[in-house]
Amino acid sequence: MFAIVDRLNEEQRAAATFEGDQLRILAGAGTGKTTALTARIAWLVASGMPAERVMALSFTRRAAREMMHRCDTLLADAPVRSATRRRGRIVGGTFHSIAHRTLRRHAVALGLPEGFSMLDAGDAADVIDLVRDEHGAAANGRRFPKKGTLLDVYSRTVNTQRPLSTVIDEVAPWCADQVEPVASICRAYVHRKRTLGLVDFDDLLLYWRAAAMDDRLGPLLAAEIDHVCVDEYQDVNALQVEVLRALRRTDPRLTVVGDDSQAVYGFRGASPRHLLDIGSVFPEISTILLERNYRSVQPVLDVANAVSEAAPEGFMARLRAESPGGERPRLVRAADEDAQVDAVCEQILAHREEGIALREQAVLVRAAHHSDLLELELSRRRIPYVKYGGLRFIEAAHVKDLICLFRLADNPRDELAWFRLLQLLEGVGPVRARRAIGALGVDQPGTPAEILMRWPLAVEELPAPSRRTADAFVNALRPATGESVGAHGERLRDALAPLVATAYDNADARVADLDALTAAAHNAARLSDVAADLTLEPPNSTGDLAGNPSIDEDWLVISTVHSAKGLEWDVVHLLNAADGNFPSDMALTSREGLEEERRLFDVAVTRPRRRLHVYFPLRFHYRPRGRDDDHTMSQPSRFLSADVTACFDTVRSSRHDTLAGESIDAGFRVATELDALWT
């Protein structure tokens, strides 16, 4: 057992071996919070708690897998306390995946069909759009929120558990006088999902909370778990807090780990207050603070500490480096965005000559479009790069087509899946698809088999040339006697392949993607589970990257700061540290928005291990690389206060003196002289 905590520092060891019921671990960036949490889980199991009675929750599948792997490694050599039993597996996963698992087990008790369909964000927006049209929003003669805004308002209302009117005032104040029509659409959206057996991301938490709070089912769920451990607690929303409170109402044992300075998901309903004010929910909780940073050198941490000291509240940890020495960060003042791009490229290449590989360097931006000019220059200089973001694997059209087929195999009421697949047929558009769905009567009573029996009525609504193909994929929806889930998935793939070949370019590669999805069906209990698993946490693909990095031996990373959370590099270049860019002007309508931007800035400056470069363009052109000189002068980011700037060596880019000297002054004088003529 002592091998589990042998390499921990004093604070981490105290957290891992804590003997009380409830513990909050406040951990600054790079202080080994995951190490402390996994050591605590391993310590609990090695001390005699059955592994299968420990629940470990995180926010991404990658983080959950990392937790499970570390726990397994720590426990590999630890003895099992009872010689009569083998050690089980920790119940680990994301909040949404554990919720989905719970809903599948208790679907009937919760009023859900066993084969309910899991909607991703795009599908959910499409369902809301259908409801929006049915309510005549487009014909009311007034501007009305589109589907994306409606879904955002609905989701924020659910996750923050605040009144709809309050959320609308914050998210879409221009339609504050239309609260009742929006509420009517939200109610209809909920009803439509229940009728068709559809579940979205927010429903997973709502149904899990309902199950945990139920007087009969709740105690059963709580009794299955002895200890709950939560990573990244600063990212929980009000609904997740209520789920945890319900699961721990009879057994208080709970450990949470979080960093209030890394709370940057307010748009998902998260708030650092849940971490800071956790005592109001769990009054008996104790706190251990982790401040020893194992990632960065002290000069980099000095910047982070200076940023945090300017915050009105929170930022509990003051980071101390375990690595000695280190160079001071650089604040680079550039004449404009072109000069900034030149300075970044030159610094990247200089570090490469020093022996720092491109892949150990990252360019971070507040918004994805902030790297547009840089990407052009990198291509011109033949510097390979990848960019985090872009099209996810699950968002590719042909992948969604097979997912819809998998959903229909268990839930023929899935109107949205029918609507998508029918339009792959020759000569079928939205009108014909709606007619066929109406003939199927997906909103009418009947078992899944009875709904498919109405297909002969629906096929009559389709053009004659497409009926044979339609019959083929509908017949494939019916499982054969004794057929395995994997074999059924293969039949569905074979039925869809001809449609993919005629509907899309690059058919061979797309069909190969379908093969990869079908392989997952061989390990699933039902096809809708495969679809749900992909929806909850889609796999990575080359679509996640801008360009194909395999053509080169090394490549630079470009990432938004949100996507960089949890990652680290030797060198980080932070672009556009100007007010309006960082912090984003879109976030400055409230104090909460500004403070979340401060925390996001803290995330950016705590990513580098060795070097930090922050770039500030003095002016922004209205038409970058245009023929005129129309521009606006910028102000440094308000997060670059005097105390923060004192932590940097301030330099000017190589093009600064030329562009910001006589030529700009002369242009200003000419413009002033012409202004006198216009008056």
**Range in 238-252, 274-288, 364-378 with the lowest mean pLDDT:** 364-378
**Long-range contact list for 646-650, CB < 8 A, 24+ apart?**
646/306, 647/299, 647/302, 647/303, 647/306, 647/328, 647/329, 648/303, 648/328, 648/329, 648/330, 648/331, 648/614, 649/328, 649/329, 649/330, 649/331, 650/330, 650/331, 650/333
Q: How far apart are CA 580 and CA 633, in angstroms?
A: 12
Q: pLDDT grade, residue 391 (50/70/90)?
A: very low
pLDDT digits (tens, 9 = 90+) for 332-350: 998 888 889 999 999 999 9
Give the pairing of strands 330-334 and 649-652.
parallel
pLDDT at 541 over 90: no
Helix or strand run (H / E) with residue 652: strand 649-652
Comparing CA positions, the residue from 379, 344, 384, 349 lying closest to residue 364 is 344
Mean pLDDT of 244-259: 91
pLDDT band at 199; cut points 50, 70, 90: very high
Please state which of the ranges 57-66, 322-331, 490-499 shows the lowest mean pLDDT: 57-66
Binning pLDDT at 50, 70 and 90, where does residue 270 land? confident
Q: What angle do CA 350, 352, 354 make, to 5 degrees?
A: 75
Report the first-to-last Cα separation within the chain, whole angstroms.
84
pLDDT band at 386 (very low <50, low <70, confident <90, very high): confident
* pLDDT at residue 561 greater than cutoff 50: yes
Instruction: Label residue 544 by pLDDT band (50, 70, 90).
Output: very low
d(CA 672, CA 207): 65
pLDDT at 191: 92
154-172 pLDDT, tens digit each: 998 988 888 999 888 887 8
Per-residue pLDDT band for 572 (boundaries 50, 70, 90) equals very high
Minimal CA–CA distance to 58: which of 287, 228, 308, 275? 228
> What's the pLDDT at 551?
45
Q: Is 83 a residue whose pLDDT tops 50?
A: no
Q: What is the largest CA-CA distance in the chain?
A: 96
What's the number of CA atoms in the CB half-sphere (13 Å) around residue 553?
1
For the cut 70, the answer to whether the pLDDT of residue 282 exceeds it is yes
Please give the pLDDT value at position 537.
Answer: 60
pLDDT tens across 373-383, in order? 888 888 888 88
| Residue 353 β-bridge partners | none
Q: Report DSSP state, residue 328.
A: P
Looking at residue 206, what is its pLDDT? 92
Give the pLDDT confidence score for residue 220 in this predicted structure. 92
Q: What pLDDT is recorded for position 550?
A: 40
Higher pLDDT, 146 or 256: 256
Q: pLDDT tens digits, residue range 499-518?
A: 887 777 666 777 777 776 78
Q: Record the pTM.
A: 0.76
pLDDT of residue 546: 37
437 Cβ contact list (under 8 Å, min separation 6): 415, 418, 419, 422, 458
Query: Strand pairing of 631-633 and 619-621?
Result: antiparallel
User: Please, which pLDDT band fits residue 209 given cuts at 50, 70 and 90?
Assistant: very high
The proportion of the chain whose per-residue pLDDT surpasses 90, expressed as a percent, equals 33
Q: What is the mean pLDDT of residues 644-649?
A: 91
- Structure tokens that stand for 543 in this block: 């679509």
